[in-house]
Amino acid sequence: MTFPSTRDRPDLRELLAFYADAGVDEPLSEEPIDRFAEAIPKKQEPSRAAHPTAAESPGTSEQNPGYGRVERNAPTASVRPSPASATVPDEAQAGLARELASKAATLEELREAVASFDGCNLKFTAKNTVFADGNPQARLMLIGEAPGRDEDIEGRPFVGRSGQLLDKILTAIGLDRTSVYIANVIPWRPPGNRTPTPHETQICRPFIERQIELVNPQVLVHLGGASAKTLLDTSEGILRLRGNWRSYTTASGTVIPAMPTLHPAYLLRTPNHKKLAWRDFLEVKMKLHSLAG
């Protein structure tokens, strides 16, 4: 067997830089896992044809194939315990989230409820709970999907590169963080910036729904497809959704006009689509102006 030379092996610094660019900035476990030790081959059972038992005669296999039978005096194979896996929140945790959210009478009470909730695994890999930023009395509320690395560190939504672009967009329509309210569907960063699972999204959904109800904005903006699909209950892609007014109805029955648009992180990767987002925010500006009159 020919092993690669030292020159052909990737430099450790290059490998770490690759992981950092991919969003992997911390381990999920304090102890390393020996994957080779887990790869234990299963023992093959001897063929019955080659070693028939005394109790089994020809023709018996079709009538009684022997499923679940334990041979007497047969050695018992040792069972290797599987490593403990992370607990997946069940429907009881989703119900608890709904209960806690419904009991919150103010945004501060809701913030405390979210911070105390342990029913979503994302909380245990995140550094901070990212609740919201901006003005709770704002007429415009913007909702993204989940915090990223910078947001997790600072504990505020949209403070990284995508947040800086969002600030520029808001400035272009005469707004800033003192005149809008910003939140996410999920208040904890998924490890490695991975996409939240549908189960994680549904666990956290009652909190953002109650947050919208308490803020009671005149206009909603869904930043990205994940926010729009979750809160508008649609399966359409964001390129089909964007630019078209939808309606969001709160639990109390209040109907709020909602504009789905492209996520700032997507615009950083696809700058030629910034013109589409600009059209969407001009629509938002005109909607706010019409509602003010």
pLDDT digit string, tens, across residues 133-166: 999 999 999 999 999 999 999 999 999 999 999 9
Strand order in the sheet with 132-134: 132-134, 180-184, 140-144, 219-223, 255-261, 246-249
Residue 66 and residue 98: Cα distance in Å, rounded? 49
The dotted CATH code for 91-292 is 3.40.470.10
Q: What is the pLDDT of residue 46?
A: 47
Name 134's bridge partners: 181
Contact present, 157 and 144 (Cβ < 8 Å): yes
Q: 211 — phi, psi (to 5°)?
A: -65, -45
Task: Render pLDDT for 206-244 as a digit per residue (tens, 0 to 9).
Answer: 999 999 999 999 999 999 999 999 999 999 999 999 999
Whole-angstrom CA distances from 193 to 22, 150, 187 are: 8, 11, 13
Instruction: Quickly count helices (H) and strands (E) in the chain.
Output: 12, 6
Residue 90 gets the label, from left (phi > 0), alpha (psi -120 to 50) or beta, of beta
| Sequence spans of domains, the chain | 91-292
Q: What is the Cβ-side half-sphere exposure of residue 133, based on CA atoms within 13 angstroms?
A: 19
Residue 111 and residue 104: Cα distance in Å, rounded? 9
Whole-model pTM? Answer: 0.71
Q: Which amino acid is at 283?
A: E
Percent of the chain with pLDDT over 70: 69
Structure tokens given for 26: 């911390």
- Give the mean pLDDT of the chain: 82
CA 238 to chain centre: 17
Asked whether the predicted pLDDT for residue 264 surpasses 80, the reply is yes
Residue 67 and residue 95: Cα distance in Å, rounded? 41
Residue 14 and residue 226: Cα distance in Å, rounded? 32
**CB pairs under 8 A, 24+ apart, for 238-245?**
238/262, 238/263, 238/266, 242/276, 242/277, 242/280, 243/276, 243/279, 243/280, 243/283, 245/283, 245/287
Residue 50 — pLDDT band, cuts 50, 70, 90?
very low
Residue 283 — pLDDT band, cuts 50, 70, 90?
very high
Q: What is the pLDDT of residue 91?
A: 83
Residue 89 — pLDDT band, cuts 50, 70, 90?
very low
Residue 267 and residue 165: Cα distance in Å, rounded? 9
